[in-house]
Amino acid sequence: FVDRFTKLRLDVADLESAFVRFADMVKQGRPLGPEISILKIWGTETWQALSELMMEAAGPDSATVGAL
């Protein structure tokens, strides 16, 4: 669990760095190239992996809504 969580923390940090880089490009009025599309794919994959890890950590209660 710790290894997977650590990898996801690093993935989120890398993703944030990429977002900041692209945001800076927009602020400077520079055009964004096709590589911007990787953010959606990368962000979606990271969110899914994080969600799966949280569900695994929560165990059987992961599908519970509201107070237990």
Longest Cα–Cα distance of the chain, Å, equals 51
What does the block give as tokens for 63? 């599908």
Per-residue pLDDT of the chain (68 residues; tens, 9 = 90+): 899 999 999 999 999 999 999 999 999 999 998 888 888 899 999 999 999 998 888 887 777 766 65
